[in-house]
Amino acid sequence: MHSLALLALAPAIALAAPAVVSRASSSTITVLDAAQLQEFTPFAFFAAAAYCDTRLTTNWSCGPNCEGVADFIPTATGGDGSLVQFWFVGYYPQLNSVVVGHQGTKPANILPLLTDANFILEKPDEDTFPGLAAAGVMMHNGFHDQHQLTYGDILPAVQQTMADYNTTSVILAGHSLGAALSVLDGIALKIAMPDASFRIATFGQPRLGNKAFADYVDAHFPGTIRMTNKRDLVPTIPGRFLGYAHFSGEVHIKSDDSIVLCHGQDNTGCIIKDVPSIFSGDVTLHKGPYLGVIMKCPANDNIPAVVAPPTRNTGTGSGSGDIVGDILDVIGNL
């Protein structure tokens, strides 16, 4: 059953940041020190907080995830956690920045998981991403389409928060699917507001686009970090053989818990080395911890459900032919 699920997943799925030294693939790594890692920790809390229901993030009462960045001031929230991922916008005084957070993939909600499996490369929407298609940029259509569901609300929320708090700095943070949405937000927001400064921090992010996409991110978002955890399968998919490429900035947690900066795109000395094939990956590592932060929201258990998550109609998830069920059983509660 596990092999069936993995085969189904195979095609799918500057805060003092060290400068990226090369856009080409490399095997060069640099060990990061405690001070550098401490700079990244707030990003992890924001990414984890994005898993929390809007009833918790609206007043920033989501337990340890919110307490890790306790002085954050939310200004807008949205999403339903199923058809549309949760998201929030607000102001973080410590960095004088607007922060945008996006919920990642929750296997308990089948629709976001199916979005992850929608793996065709396509030209980006010209209204949201003008000029990118002409530059040869291609994006994962599942992530692209999910982004279209929220960007129309996030853009004015970011603009209003920037005006209210007199800042031109924006941070985007997310995990898994939320990581993908954060990157696409960064690209679209920078096109809309070219004079603002942007920092992107992602955790457990899958590949999002082609080589031209990766080059575009490298050229426009220096200092981006893309944290990967040990043998987590998700950052290695969709595969490079399908035309996908990772942008630079990988920060990899090694099996001995040391953390290194991996220079260049798709560094061959980091997660690609640890996960040479889908059969050597471990999706249970996807939720972390990243810098001590687990990507989930236990506080959601303390609020009443509004809508029950979608359920499977057939199969048991035990080799019955229900591939989605098998995937859910393998991944568990990421």
What is the chain's mean pLDDT, rounded? Answer: 84
| pLDDT on residue 100 | 98
Level-2 CATH architecture, domain 2-331? 3-Layer(aba) Sandwich (3.40)
CB atoms within 10 A of CB 32: 19
Give the pLDDT confidence of 289-302 residue by residue, as tens digits: 999 999 999 999 98
Beta bridge partners of 175: 203
DSSP 217-252: HHHH-TT-EEEEETT-SGGG-S-GGGT-B--S-EEE
71 has a pLDDT exceeding 80 = yes
Assign residue 49 a region (left: φ > 0; alpha: ψ between -120 and 50; beta: otherwise).
alpha
| pLDDT on residue 105 | 76
DSSP letter assigned to residue 20: P
Q: Which of 246, 171, 193, 251 is nearest to 216 (CA)?
A: 246
| pLDDT on residue 260 | 97
The mean pLDDT value for 6-15 works out to 35
86 has a pLDDT exceeding 90 = yes
Are 119 and 242 a contacting pair, CB within 8 Å?
yes
Return the structure tokens found at 173.
């943070």
| pLDDT on residue 279 | 87
Q: Which of 281, 294, 260, 246 is nearest to 52 (CA)?
A: 294
Domain extents for the chain?
2-331
| pLDDT on residue 304 | 84
